[in-house]
Amino acid sequence: MTTTAPATAAAACEAAALEGGFALYVHWPFCLHRCPYCDFNSHVRPRLPQEDFRRALLAELDRAGAETAGRTLDAVYFGGGTPSLMEPATVAAVLARTARWWRLPAEAEITLEANPTSAEAARFRDFRAAGVGRLSLGVQALDEAGLRLLGRRHTAAEALAALERAAAIFPRWSCDLITARPGQTEAGWRRELLRVAPLLGDHLSVYELTIEPGTPFHRLHREGRLVLPDEERRLRLAAVTAEVLGGLGFAPYEVSNWARPGGASRHNLVYWRSGDWVGLGPGAHGRLTLGGRRIATVRIRRPEAWLRAVAVRGSGEESREALTPREILLEGLLMGLRLAEGVSLARLERLAGLPVAAVVDTAALEGLVAAGDLVREGERLRATARGRARLDAVLAALLR
Amino acid sequence: MTDLARIRNFAIVAHIDHGKSTLADRLIERCGALDPREMTSQVLDSMDIERERGITIKAQTVRLVYEARDGETYVLNLVDTPGHVDFSYEVSRSLRACEGAILLVDATQGVEAQTLANAYQAIDADLEILPVLNKIDLPAADPERVRRQIEDIIGLDAEDALLISAKTGEGVDALLEAIVRRLPPPRGEAEAPLRALVVDSWYDPYVGVVTLVRVKDGTLRRGQRIRFMGTGAVYTVDRVGVFTPKPREVTDLGPGEIGFLTAGIKEIAHARVGDTVTDDRRPAPEPLPGFQPSHPVVFCGIFPVDTKDYDQLRESLAKLRLNDASFVYEPETSAALGLGFRCGFLGLLHLEIVQERLEREFGLDLVITAPSVVYRVHLTDGTVRELHNPADYPDPTRIVKIEEPYIRATILVPERYLGAVLELCEQRRGEQVELTWVGSRAMVVYLLPLNEVVYDFYDRLKSVSRGYASFDYQMEGYRESDLVKLRILVNGEPVESLSMIVHRRMAEQRGRAMCEKLKELIPRQLFEVRIQAAIGSRIVASERVRALRKDVTAKCYGGDVTRKRKLLERQKEGKKRMRQVGKVEIPQEAFLAALKVG
């Protein structure tokens, strides 16, 4: 094989991407109802077009598979919306079709998001049979007032029952909790964590409540009818989280994610490590490194429009843009510094083909290291716990 | 050339909103100077800003032809004057072109502060004054009371004051007759060498400088070689004309007439207001008594929000200056705001008008710093330095004393608000000179430091008197004062553009107010930010912005990367507009809000 200089750079770039992993994300954009805080691409429809979706997802998969054929999948993730509303047969069909293009090793992580209502829990076994090895349950809160505030349709007891059932069926399971809710106290939060503690798997996501534009919470917040805890309270709640979860053997491997040893989400690590991922389904984003270029793909958001586009041209892709080297560095840093392990600057530079110094203010970097927000370890840069707690501000200071 | 006996030159002087422009419109209409379809309301206020704000900035003139009851035809030259205190200088020079003045008073409001100031100016200029009471069509009109006020306060005989309604036209015919019968005609020698007073001049992009003159002696003709006696500049007149109010060319202008000339003059400095125009070949031995040019009394910095606009700002200021000689500017550099200009104005309204014109006519986005006045600093080496930028404050050990400008403020206020007004004046270091009663209203005269007036005095006065107080002022010269430089420090670093010169007694209060304001405006940083106000090394006020310790930790997965990156890129753009003070990043908006007028 003859190699020219550009081809070498392209190969280095692709290799750098794949060191971050390769994953498949499948978006299911339907929910039974919309939660007032959520700004995800989710829609409520009286009847779900199960058949059409299965066909369309497979068509998109074939299109994406053709350009990345031969790669090995580290993970597959069914997210939403509420993917536990999918027919297990669809999950099975998607997983089966991956074999046409990629290798899907037995140890690959296959996750499905689910709501902990009893109706959905009844189908857990079917999803397991379809090939799902890891369940991510949207528990969100473990007290009734919190669940009501968040507009959730399940009770705390249902959530615990669903976790118990997941533990019996799946090798791995995770759950999501929302903290820093209006009026939340440290004692109350501690009770919630302790209540769920016996049923935790190897992974837990803890998000602070954010107010997203266009949501009912946004309006309430603007009108002053929904008051978020101040920084002091959020710090104290975070201290409770760290104390309880630390005691249970969990470590904060990412800004909002906790895992027991070996329990980190392999799928999500692909994002944070700037690997490649294929995004299928309405509104899904993807990153593909092909021929030395890193491409950002976005699919059409509205389910009906996406279905039509796939029917007409075999893909619901709305845009496909090559990222500039600067953009690649920015994404690499903003994602990588979320991880406790930090980010390999050398790998980022191979991925972008540009020195990190092009986007990093060197003097600011020194300052942040001196202040204890960042640490340099050889060619790796990582944010300390203190730096990760205020990462938005650290990034704003670091980048020029 | 018009027979002197058939000319009347007059101005209308009035408090703002007493109906001056409406009366001018009515006179123009009665004399048929414009077709009805050309009559837009307030014809003389030619600039957009003047029409919108209902105020007159530049003097305007109009030549009216009036057929009187005696069967003779008269030329009436109406010289319009600005009504606002900032432009009292322009009033005085307009009055120099006249022999008479209509003192217009709103019959529902009565005598107000500007009525007084303008009436005194007319009296000082030796004009014959015709008191006229306007708005008599309104039910609230009380002509008897207002007549007594004119006699009691101003000391004019108001027995024969005319009653009119400029709005309905009632009494306007009688007023025109009174102008002809009661105002004196001009005097002058047609055969004497030319002497014409430059009343105003402005730059017109098509014909160059247009000069408004009042001919005293001799004749001004097209083709004549003229000389400006003050500057010595010589030009050949290429156009002579009058405003009707549209410009109309005439062959010549004789004694007593008011009109304009153009002579291909490129520089407005060659046609200085107050100068005398004479015939270059047959010059007059003596110029007319001129008048002092106006001095800017209020200064502020003007900076472009976007540094890219600096060149455009410089060009726009130069263009404005062509038409407004009372406005001055010089380059200034600010650590916080970048490159800009230090600008001087006749007053706050003048400042606002210039700002508005820059923003509207030239499309500029501007940062205007808090206005300050001109201080006189006496130094140990015996020299006196004029200080209009706190940044230039000399080393205190070299200062013998500092003087600041004072004004004599006249305020008319209904009795129930008097207490609040007196309290305001005392707070602002005022010194009471006079307190008299005008019916149920008090007239108070205070000596006030101008510095205390430019700092939101108008707004406070309006608010404490519910808008009922009227206010006017004259400059009253300089007085020694205990003034200090108040510096603002951010994490120990002085922020020069936020420093100010204040009276020692006010320093702590101002410092605290500024620190509190900045605390609200400076976003939290990764470290604590200390904001202090200091006189020399003594801290008089301080605030802290606590360090940011925790962001909201949210999810960030594959679908969030693009949005997060774009957010960061926008932040970086915003960062370019941040000003660095030591390690602290302060958004320009914070400076803007801290430095803004009011």
Tell me what pLDDT residue B452 has.
87
pLDDT of residue A341: 98
pLDDT tens-digit profile, chain A (400 residues): 444 556 688 888 999 999 999 999 999 999 999 999 999 999 999 999 999 999 999 999 999 999 999 999 999 999 999 999 999 999 999 999 999 999 999 999 999 999 998 778 899 999 999 999 999 999 999 999 999 999 999 999 999 999 999 999 999 999 999 999 999 999 999 999 999 999 999 999 999 999 999 999 999 999 999 999 999 999 999 999 999 999 999 999 999 999 999 999 999 999 999 999 999 999 999 999 999 999 999 999 999 999 999 999 999 999 999 999 999 999 999 999 999 999 999 999 999 999 999 999 999 999 999 999 999 999 999 999 999 999 999 999 999 8
Q: How confident is the model at residue B572 (pLDDT cuts 50, 70, 90)?
A: confident
B569 contacts A330? CB cut-off 8 A: yes
CA nearest neighbour of B60 among B11, B107, B109, B19: B11
Q: Which positions 108-137 of A are in contact with B (Cβ < 8 Å)?
A: none
**pLDDT (tens digit, 9 = 90+) per residue, B399-418?**
999 999 998 998 989 999 99
The alpha carbon torsion through B80, B84, B86, B90 (nearest 10 deg) reads 10
Asked if A389 and B564 come within 8 Å (Cβ–Cβ), the reply is no
* Tokens, residue B214: 């009042």
Query: CB contact, 8 Å: A179 with chain B?
Result: no
Model confidence at B493, pLDDT cuts 50, 70, 90, reads very high
Residue B554 touches chain A, beta carbons under 8 Å: yes
Q: Is the pTM of this model over 0.90?
A: no
**Nearest to A306, CA basis, from A279, A288, A268, A267:** A279
The whole-angstrom separation of Cα A184 and Cα A100 is 49
pLDDT in tens, B29-75: 888 765 555 555 544 445 444 444 443 444 478 899 999 999 999 99
CB pairs under 8 A between A and B: 98
Cα Rg for chain B, rounded, in angstroms? 28
Q: Which of A206, A231, A400 sits opposite B572 (nearest CB)?
A: A400
Selection from B75, B93, B188, B184 nearest residue B130 by Cα: B184
**Closest residue, chain B, to A24 (C-alpha):** B558
DSSP assignment of A53-92 equals HHHHHHHHHHHHHHHSTT-B-SEEEEEES-GGGS-HHHHH
* List of residues 6+ apart from A204 with CB closer than 8 A: A174, A175, A177, A245, A250, A257, A258, A259
Task: For residues A94 and B449, give the distance between their C-alpha atoms in angstroms, rounded to a whole number.
Answer: 82
Q: Rounded to an integer, what is the distance from CA B556 to the centroid of its chain?
A: 56
pLDDT of residue B54: 41
Q: How far is CA B55 from CA A55, B77, B78, B113, B114, in A?
A: 73, 20, 17, 16, 13
Residue B453 has what pLDDT? Answer: 85
Interface with B, mutate which of A25, A328, A335 (most B CBs under 10 A): A335
β-bridge mates for residue B90, sequence order:
none
- Judged against a pLDDT cut of 90, whether residue B548 lies above it is answered with yes
Which two structure tokens, joined as six digits, stand for B434?
């006079």
Query: CB A234 to CB B550 under 8 A?
Result: yes
CB contact at 8 A, A80 and A29: yes
pLDDT in tens, B428-461: 999 999 999 877 789 999 999 988 888 778 878 9
Cα maximum dimension of chain A: 67
Integer Cα distance of B475 and A260 in angstroms: 79
A185 touches chain B (CB under 8 A): no
Most confident of B255-264, B292-301, B565-574, B588-597: B255-264
Question: Would an 8 Å CB–CB cutoff place B571 in contact with chain A?
Answer: yes
Q: Is the confidence at residue B103, as pLDDT, over 80?
A: yes
Question: CA nearest B406: which of B347, B451, B343, B370?
Answer: B451
Residue among B524, B528, B546, B561 with most chain A CBs within 10 A, to mutate: B561
Strands B366-368 and B225-228, bridge-based pairing: unpaired
Contact list, B575 vs chain A (CB under 8 Å)? 396, 400
